[in-house]
Homo-oligomer: A and B are copies of this chain.
Amino acid sequence: MNYSFKNDYSETCHPRLLDALRKLEAEQIGGYGEDPHSEEARQLIRNRIGSPEAGVFFVSGGTQANLLVIASFLRPHESVICADTGHINVHEAGAIEATGHKIHGVSSPDGKLKVQDIEAVLKEHTNVPHVVKPRLVYVSNSTEVGTVYRKEELEELSRFCRKQGLYLFLDGARLGNALVAEANKNRTGAGPLKEYSSISEGCGLELSDLPRLCDAFTIGGTKNGALFGEAIVLSHPGVAQEFPFHLKQRGALLAKGWVLGVQFRELFRDDLYFELARHANRSALRIAKVLQEQGIPFLTEPETNQIFPILPEPVIQQLLEQYEFYRWKKIDEEHTAVRFVTSWATPEGVVDEFIQLFLSIRTD
């Protein structure tokens, strides 16, 4: 079968996680997340984010996490603002609306929400009470089109939301990829990214910034080496306190909650979570660098493990003979933006071979 660059959840999980599950075999363990393994995972995360009071909860998937967070924050007449590319707006089968809330999707070519976007929505919703009341801002980081928020961008959003009485919720399905992105290393966020040769953490956005900036955020496991699972972090104490009811009501409270807890314990016991994300980013950006050197334009700036080169049809055809990936958006009659996604498990050799093939196609 051809190697797939379709997504970052095609491989089982990092071996340490299955090992950790195997080691539990001799135990009887408490149910519903009330066990020492889950508690250890929660503590590791609280330490890492520097927020000993934060509510930390583990659930099985991203759509579940999103609907839980949003439904627990909002009253029936309150609505959500997000980029029109936002996962909740297009790829969750109406999960948020099914909990009763309208979503305002605002156009955003780079997948990021700006203060002026939110302002525009607020301005359109002054004819009270005939309109909904926008109350929660949803951002994804990294975004659905692979871009990342700079620290100052998120700080600006956060300040604005606080001032306007809006909740800020960050969907971190690919949070690892965002936090280790070059964009968050010693940069001011202005201008395009030129160099991807070395990926390391810098003085940009840190995990520990999030509890201060957001009312809620998630830490994605499924797309970063876990078998499955997302951690929900709630800075808002009132919502956190009642959250277990919501977990149960929405069918998200696993009887064997430690299946999730143990995985997050392994990911955050050391730097594993970030190492896996770094590997994924590095793999994609190695490809991106070569393509950029060959003059290939991109739909969005390549910053993380999802990249969107705009390729000529014949090139796409040849690549599809040996690799699987998605066509993302038709640009013109002869060009289409495609999506390559690398993961924590992408072998270096595969990246080498892909680059070789690409160069051989181009030089033909």
Contacts and interface: CB of A to CB of B under 8 A. Distances in A.
Contacts of A101: 94, 97
Contact of A31 (B10, B24, B250, B255): B10
A217 interface: no
B61 A247 contact: no
A281 B95 CA distance: 39
B102 A248 contact: no
B94 A61 contact: no
Contact of A251 (B10, B18, B61): B61
A254 to B, nearest CB: 6
A98 B100 contact: yes
Contacts of A7: 31, 255
A176 to B, nearest CB: 15
A5 to B, nearest CB: 10
Interface stretch (A71-79, A307-315, A354-362): A71-79
Size band of the interface chain A makes with B = 35 or more
A30 B12 contact: no
A143 interface: no
Interface stretch (A45-53, A123-131, A148-156, A291-299): A123-131
A256 interface: yes
B77 A249 contact: yes
A90 interface: yes
Given A4-B28, A30-B10, A227 B256 contact: yes
A280 to B, nearest CB: 14
| Chain copies in the assembled complex | 4
Nearest to A4: B28
Contacts of A10: 28-31
A127 B108 CA distance: 21
A133 B95 contact: no
B60 A60 contact: yes
A228 to B, nearest CB: 5
A222 interface: yes
A244 B12 CA distance: 22
B77 A93 contact: yes
A318 B255 CA distance: 28
20 contacts: A12-B25, A63-B251, A67-B251, A76-B94, A77-B242, A91-B130, A93-B248, A93-B249, A94-B101, A94-B249, A97-B100, A97-B101, A98-B100, A129-B244, A129-B248, A129-B253, A130-B248, A132-B245, A132-B249, A222-B254
Going nearest first, the 6 A-B pairs with the smallest beta carbon separation are A64-B251, A77-B245, A129-B244, A93-B248, A94-B132, A93-B249
